[in-house]
Each structure stands twice: as structure tokens, then as C-alpha cells.
Structure 1
């Protein structure tokens, strides 16, 4: 059994424990996100679904599937780029720390990392001290991944810039 199938099986067990149905289309949407290795929009998922199955799915159906997957903590929505990414901690049984997403602005690769409680407390305090209320503790940071940085450096070194 491959790694993606193990994650899907675990997600299915988790949904069953929560009293939710993990339908074939929901499984496929999560599988497509896991296979992609990067963030995808609902429309990109619709295209991937069509490529994978040779069948069409309305975008609204994909949005409903993504809402379900988010409610089950299997997928995260990234507001910065308006895309979705599979949770990197689906198979974990422990409570998760606050999440920070490092998002490559070029290739859309995403890395999910935990934020320690003291740092999160400081962010909340700074927000409050500035007269604001933290609407969402999810942090998204626009970055450039090492692969894209290496590509840019190679292009620069051969005189393409």
C-alpha cells in the first residue's frame, strides 16, 4: 500500500469516527491534493478530476467537497493564494499546534509548520496592543522555496537576467 493510500485510509477512519461519510469523490479530491504536492484551487482540482477520471465535476461540487474536507481538518484553505492544501498531519493522533504555512509564490509548494505557544501568545498580545482582534490565528507567509531559488540563481548565473 502506498503512502497516499495510507493517508486516505486514515482519513476515512477519522471521518467514520466523527460520523461523517468519506465518499469516493471526497477521497479522490483529497488524493489529488496529496498527489499534487502543492496548493491547488478548486478549479485546478476540477481539471485534475477530469484528467484522472475523464469525467466532469461542477466547480460548486468541488467547493462543497473542500468545505467538508476542511471541516474534517483534512485540508486547509490558504487565503493568501486562494488555494487548498492537504493537511500534513492527517495521520497524527495528537492535538496540533497553531499552524504557519510557508507558501512559495512561484511554484505554490506549501510547507506546514507549527508555531510554538509562546510565539502565538506574543502575536496575540501584539495584535491586541495594536487595537486589533485576531480573526484567524492561521499564518501564511509568502516565500520562495529552495528549488525555485536555485532555479533563479542558475538562471542569473548564466546571464538570463
Structure 2
């Protein structure tokens, strides 16, 4: 992906997500950016919409939150985006799942289905929480 020029609001939202240690809801982003002049949820949602379209952030459907993409220069158009979400500590890991992607592409082709977006979210315990007996 070539260098993208972000608006001020898009840049602030992206920076907030990159600095976050966990996924953020739109309202948490709004709260963190009030000092930067953000006053309405619509400001955050507009920025997130553009960042999503650019592939710079991902929406985690199961927890209604957003994370910065850990592979922002990768074209997600043909790839599968997968996440492991710890139910205890909230850690989120983005990872590649080429075998799963191939299986889903084969199924879709056989069914005549054209997916617009494919995201897999695994919910469970991360290694640290599992070892701690959480």
C-alpha cells in the first residue's frame, strides 16, 4: 500500500489505537481524544470508517472494539484476517491462517459465494492466562 495521507482526526484515532494496549471501543477513543477537540461519536466513527477502508484498523465484531492492524502494509483484499482474543486479560493477537483461508476460498468458490470480508475471531485464554489457571 502506498503512503496514505490521513486527516487530522484519522491520524489521531489511528495513533490512539496504535498506542493502546488493548482493543478500544469508539466511545473509549472519544474519551481519550476529548483533549484534542473530539466532541461527538460521529467524529470517531467517520475516522474509523476510513481507517477500516484503508486496512489500517480492524473491527473485532465479538467485542465491538477496534485494533490497529499489525500488518498495515499488507493487502487484506484477498487474505483472511484472524484474531485470538483472551477472555481474561483482553490481549488480542492478529495472525495469518493460510490453510483456513484456502479452505474458505474453496468452499466459497464451490458454493458460488463471493465473500466481501472474512474475519475469524478465536475467543479463549492466552498462554499466560492459561498458565496462571485463569
Contiguous gaps of at least 5 residues in structure 1: 1-10, 17-21, 156-161
Larger radius of gyration: 1
Which residue matches 2:61?
79
Residue 11 of structure 2: which of 27, 46, 70 is its match?
A: 27
Question: 1:9-52, CA deviations, whole angstroms, 9 ceiling, x for partnerless residues?
Answer: xx9x6224xxxxx12221111111111122111011111113xx
Greater relative contact order (CA < 8 Å, ≥ 6 in sequence)? 2
Question: 1:60-86, CA deviations, whole angstroms, 9 ceiling, x for partnerless residues?
Answer: 211111001101111111111111110
| 2:24 is equivalent to residue 40 of structure 1 | yes
Whole-angstrom distance in 2 between the partners of 1:136 and 1:88: 18
Using structure 2 for the length normalisation, give the TM-score: 0.79
Residue 50 of structure 2: which of 51, 59, 68 is its match?
A: 68
Give the superposed CA RMSD: 2.8
> Normalized per residue, which structure has more helix?
1
Contiguous gaps of at least 5 residues in structure 2: none
Question: 1:105-138, CA deviations, whole angstroms, 9 ceiling, x for partnerless residues?
Answer: 233221110111x432323455788x79556421
Aligned residues: 131
Using structure 1 for the length normalisation, give the TM-score: 0.67
